[in-house]
Amino acid sequence: MAGRWTAVGLRIAQSVPVVLGVVVISFLLTRALPGDPAVQFAGAAATPESIEQVRASLGLDKPLLQQFLIYCGDLLQGDLGQSVSTGRPVAEELASRLPASLELTLTALILSCAIAIPLGVLAATRPGSWVDQLCRLLVTAGVSLPTFFTGIVLIYVFYYLLGIAPSPLGRLDFIYLEPDPVTGFFLVDSALMGDWETWLGTLKQLILPAITLALFTLAPIARMTRAAMLAALSADYIRTARAAGLGRGKVLYGYAFRNALLPVVTTLGMVFSFVLGANVLVEKVFAWPGIGSYAVEALVVSDYAAVQGFVLCMALLFVLLNLAIDLAYSVIDPRFGTEAK
């Protein structure tokens, strides 16, 4: 099907203007800083001379369009500027902290999909049953949970009261050695080394923040799965399948579930948006050394280059994830690209 490959290529091409838009917005955010950006970038202990020096080095004395082009040029070289507080390049710091954030986010997503999708399917196939009620309650309660608050409650219960969780300080207790970085994911790296003790230590640290994030994303996935499954089950083709004598398993999973998966996959895009946002809060609560807590620390000391670098990094990550979702969609749905969505 040549049409489909064209559609896939078109979808990839579509992310180009979006990336461009993202870059424009991040640029505008940098230049919209209150007061004189040069003063902000120069930091608290700046002298008039150093401010002028910063102004020139940032190119703030040039016209806006030229500034934008310089900004783009810097981006292409991977230069997001210098962090005022640590003095290191922002890009370098983000790169070193990104695996921690990704490991947390992905674990949480896998966890919540593993619970939410079966729950939604069960609720839809048994409307009115206790599973359905549980799903309804979880769905409504889940989106109401402020992640930072659930995190704190979990710490209080499992660390302070029960004492079964390790202290909520980072990815790995200091008694373990960090595994050799291959992927940057501690779970994967320690498994690669065969160091199961470290693997367990990593899991222990990971489990509470992952649950916190998963609880938050459970709701939209379960809700969408249930709705999509209900819609699919009442579709005409299910009646055809039943009238043809197909078995319940085939009707439910072969026909209804595969169709129901389409809107669920679409919802995942929104869920990623939530999860990347909530990630920031959870990292702060659990002192997780990812890019979210880096941004929060930078905010406290008004380290704007770091914050804007973080925003841009998150946006690019999200664009990439959305692209991945749409490509996954194109695999499931044969109609992809043949009609206006």
Interactions with other proteins, residue window 187-246 (CB under 8 A): 230, 234-237, 239-246
Q: Should residue 144 be labelled a site residue for other proteins when binding is judged by CB under 8 A?
A: yes
Chain positions 75 to 134 lying near other proteins, rule: CB under 8 A, are 127-128
Closest distance to other proteins from the beta carbon of 270 (Å): 9
Within the chain, what is the greatest distance between any pair of CA atoms? 84
Taking the CA atoms of residue 240, residue 241, residue 244 and residue 246 in that order, the dihedral angle to the nearest 10 degrees is -170
List the one residue from 284, 289, 294, 305 that touches other proteins (CB under 8 A).
284
> What CA–CA distance (Å, rounded) separates 341 from 147?
33
> What CA–CA distance (Å, rounded) separates 323 from 269?
9
List the one residue from 183, 258, 324, 328 that touches other proteins (CB under 8 A).
258
Q: Should residue 10 be labelled a site residue for other proteins when binding is judged by CB under 8 A?
A: no
Q: Should residue 42 be labelled a site residue for other proteins when binding is judged by CB under 8 A?
A: no
The residue range among 16-24, 71-79, 171-179, 194-202 that interacts with other proteins, by the rule CB under 8 A, is: 16-24
**What string of DSSP letters covers 204-252?**
HHHHHHHHHHHHHHHHHHHHHHHHHHHHHHTSHHHHHHHHTT--HHIII
Closest distance to other proteins from the beta carbon of 218 (Å): 14
Q: Should residue 145 be labelled a site residue for other proteins when binding is judged by CB under 8 A?
A: yes
Q: Should residue 32 be labelled a site residue for other proteins when binding is judged by CB under 8 A?
A: yes
List the one residue from 84, 94, 113, 278 that touches other proteins (CB under 8 A).
278
Q: Which residues of 230-256 are buried (b: 16+ CB within 10 A; e: fewer)?
A: bebbeeeebeebeeeeeeeeebbeebb
